[in-house]
Amino acid sequence: MNAKSEYLRSPRGFRWWLIRVVMVTVAIIVAAVAYLLVVGASAKSELIESNPAPGRLVDVGGYKMHINCMGEGSPTVLMEAGAGDFSVTWSAVQPKLSQTTRVCSYDRSGFGWSEPNAEQARTSQTMVQELETLLANTNIEDELVLVGHSFGGLNVRLFADRHLDKVVGVVLVDALHEDVSPEMQRINSEAQLALVEELRVVSILQSIGLLALSPEEIPEQGLPLEAMAQYRAILATGSQVDTMIAELSAIEDSLTYARSLDLKHLDNIPVAVLTATHRNQPSLSEDQNKQMAKAWNKMQIAQSKLSSESYFVSTSKSGHYIQLEQPELVIRTINKLVTRARYKG
């Protein structure tokens, strides 16, 4: 038996050997993390540089929001994305629609290319106020046709309620309604909690640069090629994920606020309701999906009664993202309201 093995057999010798092993292991881990942070930061910079914001970044009081306007003519079509989404969700609609009139898509604070507003909770009330400031600072003063998808539909209704004199049409694309049934609310809450926990993990991966190192691993979203590259770049580099968590966590507050305003009618402003009958959330059971579909359809019918002049269109050819799966249907519907506004004007 040699001296080295005798040394390791003694309690004191083994303890010091173990400490050295741990210290070397920790040093290797620290070096690996430091290297990952450096290369991750470099990858983020490259993604940001190769995916600049289309449109404009507008100061709204200490931070900037992104708005992208295309085309010319009045009324202006203003499009709002759903929960956790940003302006690229309209990339299959906006270019063609802009051949008819001016079309603007924008990113809520913290989403897409918009900077976060860390001082305000991510509620619908705050979002509407931010949008008002954005439009004022962008000098968009003409009449508006508002288009909202999912959660964005609730926001455009809140905006319309505050600006009935300026809004000449509302298009709700499979939009959320504030009168959510207790059962639907329970199912949604469970799904949202699970999603928030998943997003917290994604946020960690994003912060250390892993997403930026392999953006191609971010799942497809059914977007056009350029828009998909932009989506991946934003998800891998910006405040998107953390804002998604904040927005989802505050949705119940947004619904409560909307209910407090009693948004029952939009006078004679034309309202078009597009809804998808083909819906299936993999995270839910078959029974839960049936309950959700029934409750969702009830909400869509309620929204078709918001105006004395409303249009209700259901489609079995799309899931929730009608603007990506059937963009022509969305374009035709919006153009119908644009034409009507011009005719009345």
Calpha distance 225→211 (Å, rounded) = 18
Most distant CA atoms of the chain, gap in Å: 101
| CATH number reported for the structural domain that contains residue 95 in this entry | 3.40.50.1820
Calpha distance 89→46 (Å, rounded) = 23
Please write the tens of the pLDDT for every residue from 51-60: 899 999 999 9
Across 182-186, 237-241, 248-252, least confident range: 182-186
Please write the tens of the pLDDT for every residue from 254-268: 999 998 887 778 888
Domain count, the chain: 2
Q: Which of 254, 78, 80 is nearest to 175 (CA)?
A: 80
Calpha distance 212→38 (Å, rounded) = 12
Kindly state whether residues 238 and 260 are assigned to the same domain. yes
Q: How confident is the model at residue 27 (pLDDT cuts 50, 70, 90)?
A: low
Kindly state whether residues 99 and 165 are assigned to the same domain. yes
Kindly state whether residues 25 and 111 are assigned to the same domain. no
Kindly state whether residues 190 and 120 are assigned to the same domain. yes
Q: Which residue has the higher pLDDT, 232 or 182?
A: 232
Asked whether the beta carbons of 276 and 293 are under 8 A apart, the reply is: no
pLDDT value of position 119: 79
Kindly state whether residues 22 and 61 are assigned to the same domain. no
pTM of the model: 0.86
Kindly state whether residues 21 and 80 are assigned to the same domain. no
Mean pLDDT of 305-319: 90
Name the CA dihedral angle for 125, 157, 325, 250, rounded to a multiple of 10 degrees.
Answer: 20
**Does position 123 have pLDDT exceeding 50, yes or no?**
yes
Q: Residue count of the chain, please give it.
A: 345
Kindly state whether residues 25 and 174 are assigned to the same domain. no
Mean pLDDT of 158-170: 95
Kindly state whether residues 192 and 291 are assigned to the same domain. yes
Mean pLDDT over all residues of the chain?
86
Kindly state whether residues 86 and 43 are assigned to the same domain. no
High-pLDDT (> 70) share of the chain, %? 86
Kindly state whether residues 120 and 16 are assigned to the same domain. no
Omega prior to 75 cis, within 30 of 0: yes
Q: Which of 90, 47, 309, 130 is nearest to 221 (CA)?
A: 90
Kindly state whether residues 144 and 164 are assigned to the same domain. yes
Domain boundaries, position 240: 56-344
Backbone angles phi, psi at 105, to 5 degrees: -115, 150
Backbone angles phi, psi at 103, to 5 degrees: -130, 125
Mean pLDDT of 212-229: 88
